[in-house]
A = this chain, B = another copy of it.
Amino acid sequence: MSKEIPYKIYLEESEMPKQWYNVRADMKNKPAPLLNPATLEPMTYDDLRPVFCDELIRQELDDTTPYIDIPDEILNFYKMYRPSPLVRAYCLEEKLQTPAKIYYKFEGNNTSGSHKLNSAIAQAYYAKNQGLKGVTTETGAGQWGTALSMACAYLGLDCQVYMVKCSYEQKPFRREVMRTYGASVTPSPSMTTEVGRKILAEHPGTNGSLGCAISEAVEAATHQEGYRYVLGSVLNQVLLHQTVIGLETKTALEKYDIVPDIIIGCAGGGSNLGGLISPFMGEKLRGEKDYRFIAVEPASCPSFTRGKFAYDFCDTGMVCPLAKMYTLGSGFIPSANHAGGLRYHGMSSILSQLYHDGLMEAVSVEQTAVFEAAEKFARVEGILPAPESSHAIKVAIDEALKCKETGEAKTIVFGLTGTGYFDMYAYEKFNNGEMTDYIPTDEELEKGFQGLPVVPER
A289 CB to nearest B CB, Å: 29
Q: Across the interface, do B80 and A176 meet the contact criterion of CB distance under 8 Å?
A: no
Taken together as a complex, chains A and B put the C-alpha atoms of A419 and B146 apart, in Å, by 15
The digit string for A402-420, where 1 denotes a CB below 8 A from any CB of B, is: 0000000000000000010
Give A81's nearest chain B residue, CB to CB.
B382
Residues of B within 8 A of A428 (CB): 172-173, 176, 179
A421 within 8 A of B: yes
In-complex Cβ contact of A421 among B182, B380, B422 (8 A): B422
Residues of B within 8 A of A379 (CB): 150, 153-154, 181-182
Q: Across the interface, do B111 and A180 meet the contact criterion of CB distance under 8 Å?
A: no
A413 CB to nearest B CB, Å: 18
In-complex Cβ contact of A384 among B80, B91, B180 (8 A): B180
Q: Across the interface, do B421 and A180 meet the contact criterion of CB distance under 8 Å?
A: no
Binds B, one of A6-14, A48-56, A343-351: A6-14
Residues of B within 8 A of A7 (CB): 13, 79-80
The count of identical subunits is: 2
Give A121's nearest chain B residue, CB to CB.
B382
Given A10-B10, A176-B427, A431-B179, verify A382-B150 contact (CB < 8 Å).
yes
Give A375's nearest chain B residue, CB to CB.
B180
Taken together as a complex, chains A and B put the C-alpha atoms of A374 and B167 apart, in Å, by 25
Q: Across the interface, do A378 and B172 meet the contact criterion of CB distance under 8 Å?
A: no
Q: Across the interface, do A424 and B173 meet the contact criterion of CB distance under 8 Å?
A: yes
Residues of B within 8 A of A375 (CB): 180
In-complex Cβ contact of A380 among B113, B154, B381, B383 (8 A): B154
Taken together as a complex, chains A and B put the C-alpha atoms of A232 and B361 apart, in Å, by 47
A381 CB to nearest B CB, Å: 7
Q: Across the interface, do A111 and B384 meet the contact criterion of CB distance under 8 Å?
A: yes
Give A425's nearest chain B residue, CB to CB.
B173
A207 within 8 A of B: no
Residues of B within 8 A of A381 (CB): 80
Residues of B within 8 A of A150 (CB): 379, 382
Residues of A within 8 A of B (CB): 6-8, 10, 12-13, 79-81, 91, 109-111, 113, 150, 153-154, 172-173, 176-177, 179-182, 375, 378-384, 419, 421-422, 424-425, 427-428, 430-431
30 A-B pairs in the complex with CB atoms less than 8 angstroms apart: A6-B12, A7-B13, A7-B79, A7-B80, A8-B79, A80-B381, A80-B382, A81-B382, A109-B109, A111-B378, A111-B382, A113-B421, A150-B379, A150-B382, A154-B379, A154-B380, A172-B428, A173-B173, A173-B422, A173-B425, A176-B424, A176-B427, A177-B384, A177-B427, A179-B428, A179-B431, A180-B384, A181-B378, A181-B379, A421-B421
